[in-house]
Amino acid sequence: YAEVSRGVQNILKEQQEPITIEVLESLFEQRFHTSITDVVGMSTGEYLLRKENIFDYHPDRGTVFLQSGLLAGPPMADPNAVRDEDFVVREFEQLIEAMGPVVYISTLCGKFIQRNGTSVTSIISTRPLDLFKRHNDVFMMVGAGNVTLRRMEHSPEVQRLMDKPTTKSGRAAKVSTDPRLPVPDDLTEQHVV
């Protein structure tokens, strides 16, 4: 199913407007030498309805297009590309560029699944956080579950998040160094309590 979804998404991304089911089926057959129905075991219309989070299908008009959220992203990956760690790094880079400069890791992984029909973990056999640490020349953790690209580290949005402590102890330390808080000349028990 994932390959069918990616194939249909690629076909629709190449179009500039909604197309009919008949045109979609014809383009799919030309490209993959099989029909959507043969692969998924149901009608194309039924398949598109089941994938409503990806496809904007109007049965009354018989037209289909991609959901607007998918159109906004970077170009779809080549369905024949080798699915390895380098592939995940390239996809993450493109997604962060399109959605960033700072992206919540869960959102990034969700978008990856939506685009590729498989999870990051199933490809790299480890957590995305470990991937970011291994490729710290490309990615930079910003805190609070966010990631950016190393080359974007000087953008104002990234700097704003970097300056913001994310833990309770970090916030307490920042407050204790705040120059607006006067330090008493004589520290007594009253100041501590």
Q: Which CATH class is domain 2-71?
A: mainly alpha
CB 35 within 8 A of CB 25: yes
pLDDT at 133: 94
Domain ranges (residues) in the chain: 2-71, 85-172
Collapsed DSSP state (helix, strand, coil) of residue 126: coil
Judge whether residue 144 has pLDDT over 90: no
In whole angstroms, give the CA distance from residue 82 to residue 172: 47
Say which residues have a Cβ less than 8 Å from residue 71's Cβ, sequence separation at least 6.
13
Say which residues have a Cβ less than 8 Å from residue 62's Cβ, sequence separation at least 6.
20, 21, 22
pLDDT at 76: 65
Chain-wide mean pLDDT for the chain?
A: 84
In whole angstroms, give the CA distance from residue 21 to residue 146: 39
What's the gap between Cα 166 and its chain centre? Answer: 22
**Which has the minimum average pLDDT: 54-68, 116-130, 164-178?**
164-178
> Once rounded to an integer, what is the mean pLDDT over residues 92-111?
91
Model confidence at 1, pLDDT cuts 50, 70, 90, reads: low
